[in-house]
A = this chain, B = another copy of it.
Amino acid sequence: MTTSELEQLRSVYEPLAQSVRRLIDVSIRSQADESSVKSVIDKIDGATAELETAALREGSFGLEHTGDGQLMAWGNVVMGVRNPVAPPLVVHHEPDGSAWAEFVLGAAFEGPAGHVHGGVCAMLLDHVLGATAHQPGMPAVTGTLTLRYRRGTRLGLPLRAEAHVERVDGVKTFAIGHIADDEGVTVEAEGIFIHPRTNNRDDGNR
């Protein structure tokens, strides 16, 4: 796939995910009455049916390999631009091997009232710590991950997740990181990420 084909495809489907993402947020917070909700369900089911008139990918999005050896993980639950569940995280890689992402989480990620579910923090930290171990076209999989929750993480506020490599030992990358808001760290994490010895890029945990 050429770069321009990739951009064309993204220009079609990324706005679809963004549209569904807005609907998710509004549907959770809606206080519309019964007849409005029924009418809305009809509209949504109509949209779903229209998408189903063309054959769907079987099971899940999977991974597409682009021309330059990158993996196109558009269905990924954390970073996938075609996955409405993904915030989506844009993970930045620094020359020193560290990785970071800045994001705001809304109603869809709630645990305690007004706060991010602790499990969502775990999910995002798994991803960002794992990103420090990734090499082009070869994601690492999670071996172990430990989270320490210092305090609640608020919905609706700017958050930053960051991670760096502590050391590398053979196929294992030891990474450390955290999520922070503007008052400091809310959740700390450390993990061991592993490059599978096989050439099968489709197995693993990330």
Residues of B within 8 A of A115 (CB): 202-205
Question: Given contacts A50-B36, A147-B144, is CB(A111)–CB(B24) below 8 Å?
Answer: no
Residues of B within 8 A of A112 (CB): 63, 139, 141, 201-206
Q: A28-B60, A31-B55 are in contact. List 4 more A-B contacts (CB 8 A).
A: A40-B51, A143-B148, A152-B203, A187-B205
Q: Choose from B20, B59, B121, B124 the contact partner of A114 (Cβ within 8 Å).
A: B59
Q: How far is the CB of A42 from chain B (nearest CB, A)?
A: 9
Chain A interfacial residues counted at CB < 8 A:
98
The answer, yes or no, to whether A108 is at the interface (CB within 8 Å) is yes
- Could you tell me if A24 and B31 are in contact, using CB atoms closer than 8 angstroms? no
Complex: how many Å from CA A45 to CA B39?
13
Q: Choose from B41, B44, B83, B123 the contact partner of A28 (Cβ within 8 Å).
A: B83
Q: Choose from B30, B58, B145 the contact partner of A147 (Cβ within 8 Å).
A: B145
Q: How far is the CB of A170 from chain B (nearest CB, A)?
A: 17
Question: Given contacts A44-B47, A145-B147, is CB(A155)–CB(B22) below 8 Å?
Answer: no
Oligomer: number of copies = 2
Question: Given contacts A112-B204, A113-B202, is CB(A19)–CB(B32) below 8 Å?
Answer: no
Q: How far is the CB of A32 from chain B (nearest CB, A)?
A: 4
Complex: how many Å from CA A115 to CA B205?
7
- Could you tell me if A206 and B30 are in contact, using CB atoms closer than 8 angstroms? no
Q: Choose from B17, B28, B116, B206 the contact partner of A27 (Cβ within 8 Å).
A: B17
